[in-house]
Structure 1
Amino acid sequence: MDIRKYLDSTYLKLASQSGLTEEQTFEEVKKLTNEAIDNQFYLVMIRPEYVKKVKEMIHSVNSDVKVGTVIGFHEGNYSIDEKLTEAQKAIEDGVDELDYVINYEAFKKGDIDLVKQEFISGTILGLKASKVVKWIIEIAALSDEQIKSICYYFSTWAQETFNKDDFGKIFVKSSTGFYQTEDGKPNGATFPAIEIMLNYSKPLPVKAAGGVRTYDEAVKMIEMGVKRIGTSSAKSLSEKGDSKNSY
């Protein structure tokens, strides 16, 4: 299977997290972008501050690679206004896809109204600008029952609020890759969690992010029904190698 059209090639580390300078970090972003162009991956997923320059890079060589960015990353506890402002700036910079981190801590505390308002307002902003919108639920922070519940809410709210033709542009995404787990537990996509997401998010598509470390795992995810895979090792996976990275 040619998995390249499913891959969101990802680099989201800040300079402070990688031990690089700001200039070196942008060099990593450019390297990721050129690799995506050369290998025809579906999308590059980068921080908002790089969207405009990366979009220009891709446009300059007439590539079809899309540009995605993260909103409210990575804790998800930004206010709704802050997330919408960040998303609007990314739209103005030419982004193709917006990956919002839902306020999963608010969800866990039972503030469903806030989560609903965030989901609907953020999705409206993206769809009005003809963008794909993804909602990161951070499965490592949730129990199986909470994963079921939030996916069901997203599905219900989408069907109540948006047109059927828009459903394919509203993803539910598993993970940021930055959540700190204990005892070596996975912080990215797992097969059991993805199965729950697929069952309860319908008719919305699912993106598996983090934790997909081999070509065979990627193929299995796709065969399960996943429409997109976020990875920092897109080239290795596409060449049937194994990822040594945590995301």
Structure 2
Amino acid sequence: MDIKNYLDSTYLKTNSQAGLSESENEAVAQKFIQEAIDENFKLIMIRPDRVALASQMIVEANSKVLVGTVIDFPEGSSSIIKKLEEAFECIQNGADELDFVCNYEAFKAGKIDLVKDEILKGTQLGLSNNKIVKWIIEVAALNDAQIAELTALIKNVVVANFKPEAYSSVFVKSSTGFFKTENDLPNGATISSITIMLNNASPLPVKAAGGVRTYKEAIEMIDLGVQRIGTSGAKAIANGEETSSKY
């Protein structure tokens, strides 16, 4: 098994989060993009304002690495109109995959129709442009029952509105990796949360993101059944090392 086929190498820090100037952070982003090309990872996950840069670098390198980006990141609380506008701009700039942050706070507040609407329209936009779509549910913000319910809701919207051949192109994803938890509790994928997602997502695939820091942990996730792993420590994991990255 080539674990690199499962790894979405990720760099999503803003300038302030990284403690860097704009030009310094741009250089870090370029380093991640180049590393993804050199290591032949499945995908480079980058913020929307760097999609065009990643696409250009990949084309110039004649690489098959895909470009992924995050939509309405990390809170997921914007209107569906803003989500769609951001996603469409990313498509125009060369994104292959769109990782939408689901409005999980609206879901928790019982605004189910709003959540269904954004899932339907966001998925329609992505699939109609031949893109992979992922819905981030932010497991650290949910209890086990909510993880199951939101995963099933996404699955049910997709199954009710799209043909079976589209199912493999719509993922349920665990985490942004940026959710602030109390007492340093896990803020991303855990065996427990991923198991719940897998039990409720099928026939949709699942992406584990946030908190996968070692090759062993990555293999455990793959053995459970995830089809993608998002990590900012992809090279370390691929080399059998432990990454110090927290997302």
Q: What is the TM-score with the length of structure 1 in the denominator? A: 0.99
Alignment-mate amino acid for residue 141 of structure 1: A
For residue 32 of structure 1, report the CA deviation from its aligned partner. 0.4
What residue is the counterpart of 1:156 in the other structure?
A: 156
State the one-letter code of the partner of 1:3.
I
Paired position in structure 1 for 2:82 = 82
Distance in 2, matches of 1:113 and 1:149, equals: 14
Letter in 1 for 2:185: K
Report what 2:123 is aligned to.
123
Partner of 1:176: 176
User: Which runs of structure 2 are paired with 1:218-229 in the superposition (5 Å)?
Assistant: 218-229=218-229
Structural mapping, 1:180-191, within 5 Å: 180-191=180-191
Q: Which residue is equivalent to 1:108?
A: 108
Q: Distance in 1 between matches of 2:52 and 2:112?
A: 34
Paired letter, 2:54 = V
The offset of 1:154, in angstroms, is 1.1
Partners of 2:157 and 2:118 in 1: CA distance: 11
Q: Deviations over 1:9-42 (max 9, x none)?
A: 0000000111101111111111001111111100
The offset of 1:233, in angstroms, is: 0.3
| Counterpart secondary structure, 2:64 | coil
- Once residues 236 and 32 of structure 2 are traced to their aligned partners in structure 1, the CA distance between those partners, rounded to angstroms, is 12
Identity %: 54
Distance 1:19 1:243 in 2: 20
CA distance in 1, matches of 2:90, 2:213: 29
C-alpha distance in 2, partners of 1:210/1:102? 16
1:38 maps to 38
TM-score, length of structure 2 as denominator length = 0.99
Whole-Å separation in 2 of the counterparts to 1:193 and 1:89: 32
Give unpaired runs (5+ residues) of structure 2: none
Moved more, 136-145 or 147-156: 147-156
Structure 1 residue identity aligned to 2:98: L
Partner of 2:196: 196
Q: Displacement of 1:2 after TM fit? A: 2.2
Matched, 1:99 2:94: no
Following the alignment from structure 1 to structure 2, what is the Cα–Cα distance between the partners of residues 131 and 214?
29
* Cα RMSD for the two superposed structures: 0.6
Rounded Cα–Cα distance in structure 2 between residues aligned with 1:70 and 1:184: 24
Kindly provide the amino acid, as one letter, of the partner of residue 186 in structure 2.
P
Structure 1: 4+ residue segments shifted above 2 A: none
What residue is the counterpart of 1:236 in the other structure?
236
Cα distance in 1, alignment partners of residues 112 and 220 from structure 2: 33
Please give the alpha-carbon distance, in whole angstroms, between the structure 2 residues aligned to 1:139 and 1:163. Answer: 27
Question: Aligned equivalents of 1:178 and 1:244: distance in 2?
Answer: 15
Alignment partner of 1:70 is 2:70? yes
CA distance in 1, matches of 2:61, 2:13: 26
Residue aligning to 1:147:
147
1:124, 1:26 → 2: CA distance? 32
Q: 1-side partners of 2:136 and 2:200: how far apart?
A: 15
Secondary structure, in 3 states, of the residue corresponding to 1:183?
A: helix
What is the distance in 1 between the residues matched to 2:122 and 2:137?
14
Amino acid at match of 1:4: K
User: For structure 1, which runs of at least 5 residues remain unmatched after alignment?
Assistant: none
CA distance in 2, matches of 1:55, 1:101: 22
Q: Give the superposition deviation at 1:188.
A: 0.6
Equivalent-residue separation in structure 1 for 2:170 and 2:21 (angstroms): 35
How far apart are the structure 2 equivalents of 1:88 and 1:109?
28
How many pairs were matched up?
A: 247
Give the aligned partner of residue 135 of structure 2.
135
